[in-house]
Amino acid sequence: MTSSTGADHDQWLREDPGALGSFLAPVAGYGVTISSMFRPTVTEQYPFEKPVLMPRYHGRHQLNRYDDGLEKCIGCELCAWACPADAIYVEAASNAPDEQYSPGERYGRVYQINYLRCIFCGMCIEACPTRALTMSTDFDELVGPGREGLIYEKEDLLAPVPEGAVAAPHPMVEGTEDGDYYRGRVTGSTQAQIDWVRAQRPDDPSLAGARAKATPTASGWGAKQTVKGAVR
């Protein structure tokens, strides 16, 4: 037995729309278009006037560094696995004593983001365990005349070297482990790191503004310790 509700649910489709409904039927679908014709137009003067963006706007990605210049990316590829658009490609490599790019065992040797595929959903930054990947509010450069320029390499995504730090590769802060970096205990480069970079790469541009800061000890951070003759 059919209920009255099930029998009458499409009754309105069989009813006569009336004279007025029949007259307006051909243009009924243009209601939104016709109503918009009488509204004031709003013209964005971009790029001469920048739009106002929300603080959490999802723009270009950025690969962050620690305060001593080492990279936060450990090459775990979780961001690539989390990306629903398959826009991220990561290739990891092992750190070496003379090529220490990040704390721990591995770093991201190759890092690519294809902005022709990226949908700016932010799932990659949610998956990152070290906060190496974040999203800025920059979007102006995400346009171009060709496809090649919209595939960003690691060098295009890396954040600038922090003030007073030296660029990777260089050893970790002496006496620290990767966990000290993750907990925010590293606040800058040490004199030992600066001396190492100066010996290995005397032409490194980051040496011009490098300044030594305090280093950790077995009991925590020391403000006035001496390591290799450097007073902190």
Cα separation, 87 vs 124, in Å, equals: 10
Q: Coil, strand or helix: which one is 149? A: helix
Question: pLDDT tens-digit profile of 42-59?
Answer: 888 888 888 888 888 999
In this prediction, residues 110-125 reach a mean pLDDT of 95
Cα separation, 84 vs 20, in Å, equals: 49
Higher pLDDT, 15 or 98: 98
Judge contact between 84 and 109, C-beta under 8 A. no
DSSP state of 132: -
Cα separation, 128 vs 101, in Å, equals: 17
Q: Which amino acid is at 29?
A: G
| Two tokens, residue 41 | 């137009």
Cα separation, 143 vs 150, in Å, equals: 7
Which residues are bridge partners to 96 per DSSP? Answer: 99
Report the relative pairing of strands 106-114 and 133-135 from DSSP bridges: unpaired
Judge contact between 189 and 166, C-beta under 8 A. yes
Start-to-end C-alpha separation, the chain: 89
* CA dihedral over 177, 183, 185, 187, signed as positive or negative: positive
Using CA atoms of 166, 216, 127, 119 in order, give the dihedral in degrees to the nearest 10: -30
How many Å is the maximal CA-CA distance in the chain? 97
Residue 227 predicted with pLDDT over 50 = no
Residues ≥6 apart with Cβ < 8 Å to 5: none
Question: pLDDT tens-digit profile of 147-157?
Answer: 888 999 999 99
Question: pLDDT tens-digit profile of 63-110?
Answer: 999 999 999 999 999 999 999 999 999 999 999 988 999 998 999 999
Judge contact between 131 and 64, C-beta under 8 A. yes
Domains in the chain (CATH in brackets) are 61-231 (3.30.70.3270)
Question: Looking at residue 47, what is its pLDDT?
Answer: 81
Question: Looking at residue 36, what is its pLDDT?
Answer: 81
